[in-house]
């Protein structure tokens, strides 16, 4: 029953749209996580800071000035002013999983399950796209090879036509009958 409530409240697409790639990692920002968990960003950050030993760099990192500018320019973050002077935390998939041990409400656990499912769905989509890309490359190579073979056939046909046109009347060979008078 809990799964149904969370999916109704928070469709998978909504969560997937809040997953971004930074530093070659799929991450979610504290702003978006606090929104879907239903807590203030300040409270989420405070809970993380109290348990900072649970969040090594591969679980969570603070965005740099340049990364914040990129995120603002891509409309991920409304503006620098909306951050209130603090730089956002970016949580990797494992960092989001760790949040469930810091945010202990029932809603947080349910949302965490939904977020983990969204990360898995995103991974499956990426794998499907990679397989599709490989299939397309295979087809391109095959078509390219067919093009080369067809070109070669036309080249041979052209050569045969040239030989036929350049062919001189040759005298017949073999036994010749004398002409009757």
Q: Which H/E stretch holds residue 62?
A: strand 60-62
Q: Indicate if the pLDDT at residue 5 is higher than 50.
A: no
The total domain count for the chain is 1
pLDDT (0 to 100) of residue 65: 86
- Angle separating helix axes 41-50 and 30-37, nearest 10 degrees: 110
Q: What is the pTM of this model?
A: 0.57
Residue 179 predicted with pLDDT over 70 = yes
In a domain, 120, yes or no: yes
* DSSP letters spanning 77-99: SS-SGGGTTPPPEEEEHHHHHHH
In a domain, 137, yes or no: no
Tell me: pLDDT of 2 over 60.
no
Would residue 14 count as lying in a domain? yes
Question: Tens digit of pLDDT for each residue in 83-123?
Answer: 666 788 999 888 888 887 787 777 777 777 777 787 787 77
Neighbour count for residue 91 (Cβ, 10 Å): 25
| Residue 178 located in a structural domain | no
Residue 170, domain member (yes or no): no
The confidence band for 61, taking pLDDT boundaries of 50, 70 and 90, is very high
Q: How many CB atoms lie within 10 A of CB 90?
A: 22
Residue 148 belongs to a domain: no
Structural domain includes residue 36:
yes
pLDDT score, position 99: 83
Residue 8: which pLDDT band, with cuts at 50, 70 and 90?
Answer: very low
Mean pLDDT for the stretch of residues 157-174: 75
Residue 99, number of CB atoms within 10 A of its CB: 26
Q: What's the confidence (pLDDT) of residue 10? A: 63
Cα 77 from Cα 41, distance rounded (Å): 13
> What is the extent of the structural domain holding 28?
2-129
Q: Residue 60 — pLDDT band, cuts 50, 70, 90? A: very high
Residue 156 lies in a domain: no
Residues 94 and 23 sit within 8 Å (Cβ to Cβ): no
| pLDDT, position 167 | 67
CA distance 179 to 103: 115
- Residue 108 near residue 37, CB atoms below 8 Å: yes
């Amino acid at each position: 029953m809990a799964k149904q409530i969370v999916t109704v409240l928070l469709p998978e697409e909504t969560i997937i749209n809040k997953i971004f790639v930074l530093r070659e990692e799929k991450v979610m920002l504290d702003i978006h996580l606090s929104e879907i968990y239903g807590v203030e960003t300040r409270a989420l950050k405070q809970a993380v800071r109290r348990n900072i030993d649970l969040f090594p760099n591969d679980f969570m990192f603070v965005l740099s000035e340049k990364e914040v500018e990129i995120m603002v320019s891509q409309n991920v973050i409304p503006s620098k002013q909306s951050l209130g002077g603090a730089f956002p935390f970016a949580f990797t998939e494992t960092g989001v999983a760790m949040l469930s041990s810091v945010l202990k409400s029932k809603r947080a656990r349910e949302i965490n399950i939904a977020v983990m499912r969204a990360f898995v769905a995103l991974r499956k989509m990426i794998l499907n796209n990679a397989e599709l890309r490989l299939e397309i490359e295979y087809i391109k190579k095959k078509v390219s090879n067919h093009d080369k073979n067809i070109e070669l056939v036309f080249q041979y046909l052209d050569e045969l036509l040239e030989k036929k046109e350049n062919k001189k009347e040759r005298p017949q060979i073999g036994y010749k009958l004398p002409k009757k008078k």
